[in-house]
């Protein structure tokens, strides 16, 4: 039977300390040992299932990590205090001075800035390529390349990566393929398509309530144990731990992720079709006009739709700003970065989340200043939303 990530969430069964239907919240930063020599042993061998100190891991962090490993179909996972906490510690674990990364150029601006401005200080350099051109990826690989990095659905251009094809390149050159699945949880299972490691910003769809920041790395047991190693793990030693109370609340939100993703997708599909009928420059992976629509159909999991993200190019940053202000004043959503909230969120990526990318590169990759990125909300009556959005769009264009 085909892998269904929602089943992994449905099948979770964690009891609380007193038989509660949710796991108890473990509110401790440090843990007792009954025998002194057990502590010594733990420092030397980091035994699994033993808790030492909450920066290493804590029970609620472990429950959430196990659930996300199940969702992604990996042996193990480890949560961090933010998506960037997961991404930075992973890359610092995988690469040493002198190593090289080949990355998609259309990635989250913070990841781009990490690779472009911070990692070179440790002699880890990155070549940015158009990940939809497989020969460009091959051409950028050098004997020093260790990691291939991409997003399932790129931010903010919503390009779809051919993960199966990219994973073949990674295997051929013995590289670790890391895929950021933040925009498309449940929709894609990158590990099943050949990726080695999946990262998420939990801050977005997975938590879904825009009240907390978190991240996760899902991969092999060896990778996760290595990152958590007491003496040499980047996660343990850089220390971006996710607080146990936050882990507990995110696990509860994870239970409704399948239902939420379906609704985000249904609403985004409706609006994208309507915008297209209006003759607007809309990009949505569920539209046949999207350049990788067929590719997405061939690699996505069925039943969750094409996701909640769409873009609308209104031509200029002035028009984009006017539209966003009008929509916020009409209570159609919030002018805010981030995604995966119950309410629609919109921002102009060229001047916000992707502003780290120099203007000439933005132009080359097709990131026009008039692009508005929407994370479509869970509106019950999306037809009413469209009627009101149409009024805003018509008064700005």
Nearer to ligand PLP, 89 or 111 (CB): 111
Report whether 205 contacts 257 (CB < 8 A): yes
Structure tokens at 393: 């769009």
Smallest separation, CB 167 to ligand PLP (Å):
19
Smallest separation, CB 242 to ligand PLP (Å):
10
Smallest separation, CB 86 to ligand PLP (Å):
8
Q: Which stretch binds ligand PLP (CB under 6 A): 125-133, 176-184, 276-284, 343-351?
A: 176-184
155 binds ligand PLP (CB under 6 A): yes
Nearer to ligand PLP, 268 or 389 (CB): 268
Nearer to ligand PLP, 350 or 393 (CB): 350
Compute the 3-state secondary structure of the chain and give helix, strand, coil in percent, each to the nearest 5. 40, 15, 45
Report whether 268 contacts 308 (CB < 8 A): yes
Please count the residues of this chain forming the interface with ligand PLP, following the rule CB under 6 A: 15
Sole binder of ligand PLP in the list 182, 235, 375, 385 (CB under 6 A): 182
Nearer to ligand PLP, 72 or 180 (CB): 180
Please name the residue that has the structure tokens 């977005």. 204
**Best CA proximity match to 371, nearest among 92, 152, 157:** 157
Nearer to ligand PLP, 344 or 385 (CB): 344
Sole binder of ligand PLP in the list 83, 219, 286, 307 (CB under 6 A): 83
Nearer to ligand PLP, 108 or 386 (CB): 108
129 CB-near residues (< 8 Å, 6+ apart) = 102, 103, 104, 105, 136, 137, 139, 140
Sole binder of ligand PLP in the list 58, 82, 132, 344 (CB under 6 A): 82
Smallest separation, CB 352 to ligand PLP (Å):
10
Smallest separation, CB 201 to ligand PLP (Å):
3
Smallest separation, CB 286 to ligand PLP (Å):
19
Smallest separation, CB 179 to ligand PLP (Å):
11
Nearer to ligand PLP, 51 or 183 (CB): 183
Applying the rule CB under 6 A, the residues between 339 and 358 that interact with ligand PLP are none
From CA 86, how far away is CA 80, in angstroms rounded? 6
Applying the rule CB under 6 A, the residues between 199 and 218 that interact with ligand PLP are 201, 203, 213, 215
Strands 309-313 and 281-283: antiparallel
**Best CA proximity match to 200, nearest among 144, 263, 132, 153:** 153
Q: Which stretch binds ligand PLP (CB under 6 A): 28-36, 46-54, 81-89, 133-141?
A: 81-89
Applying the rule CB under 6 A, the residues between 85 and 144 that interact with ligand PLP are 108, 110-111
For residue 238, count CB atoms less than 10 angstroms from its CB and return exposed for 0-12, middle for 13-18, buried for 19 or more: middle
| SS3 of 293-342 | HHHHHHHCCCCCCCCCEEEEECCCHHHHHHHHHHHHHCCCCEECCCCCCC
317 CB-near residues (< 8 Å, 6+ apart) = 348, 350, 351, 369, 370
Sole binder of ligand PLP in the list 151, 162, 196, 313 (CB under 6 A): 151
Report whether 158 contacts 140 (CB < 8 A): no
Applying the rule CB under 6 A, the residues between 213 and 272 that interact with ligand PLP are 213, 215
Residue nearest to ligand PLP (CB): 83
Nearer to ligand PLP, 195 or 389 (CB): 195
From CA 223, how far away is CA 228, in angstroms rounded? 9
Smallest separation, CB 157 to ligand PLP (Å):
12
39 CB-near residues (< 8 Å, 6+ apart) = 33, 52
**Best CA proximity match to 294, nearest among 311, 309, 306:** 306
Binding site for ligand PLP (CB under 6 A): 82-84, 108, 110-111, 151, 155, 180, 182-183, 201, 203, 213, 215
């Amino acid at each position: 039977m085909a892998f269904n990530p929602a089943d992994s969430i449905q099948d979770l069964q964690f009891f609380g300390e007193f038989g509660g239907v949710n796991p108890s919240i473990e509110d401790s930063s440090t843990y007792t040992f009954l025998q002194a020599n057990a502590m010594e042993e733990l420092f030397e061998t980091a035994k699994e299932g033993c808790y030492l100190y909450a920066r290493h891991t804590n029970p609620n962090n472990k429950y959430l990590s196990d659930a996300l490993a199940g969702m992604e179909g990996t042996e193990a996972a480890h949560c961090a205090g933010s998506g960037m906490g997961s991404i930075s510690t992973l890359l610092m674990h995988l690469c040493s001075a002198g190593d090289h990364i080949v990355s998609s150029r259309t990635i989250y601006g913070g990841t781009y800035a990490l690779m472009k401005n911070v990692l070179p200080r440790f002699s880890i350099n990155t070549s940015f390529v158009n990940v939809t051109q497989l020969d460009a990826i091959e051409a950028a690989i050098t004997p020093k390349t260790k990691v291939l990095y991409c997003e399932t659905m790129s931010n903010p251009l919503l390009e779809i990566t051919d993960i199966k094809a990219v994973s073949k390149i990674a295997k051929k050159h013995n590289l670790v393929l890391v895929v950021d699945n933040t925009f498309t949880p449940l929709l894609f299972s990158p590990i099943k398509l050949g990726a080695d490691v999946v990262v998420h910003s939990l801050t977005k769809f997975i938590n879904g309530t825009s009240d907390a920041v978190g991240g996760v790395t899902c991969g092999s047991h060896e990778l996760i144990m290595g990152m958590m190693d007491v003496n040499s793990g980047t996660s343990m030693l850089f220390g971006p731990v996710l607080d146990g109370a936050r882990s507990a609340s995110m696990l509860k939100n994870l239970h409704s992720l399948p239902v939420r993703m379906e609704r985000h997708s249904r609403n985004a599909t409706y609006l994208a079709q309507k915008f297209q009928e209006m003759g607007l420059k809309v990009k949505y992976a569920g539209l046949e006009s999207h350049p990788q629509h067929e590719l997405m159909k061939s690699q996505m999991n069925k039943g969750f739709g094409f996701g909640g993200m769409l873009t609308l190019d209104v031509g200029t940053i002035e028009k984009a700003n006017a539209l966003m202000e009008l929509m916020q004043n009409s209570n159609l959503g919030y002018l805010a970065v981030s995604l995966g909230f119950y309410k629609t969120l919109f921002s102009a990526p060229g001047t916000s989340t992707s502003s780290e990318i120099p203007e000439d590169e933005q132009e080359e990759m097709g990131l026009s200043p008039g692009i508005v990125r929407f994370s479509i909300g869970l509106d019950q009556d999306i037809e009413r939303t469209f009627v009101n959005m149409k009024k805003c769009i018509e008064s700005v264009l």
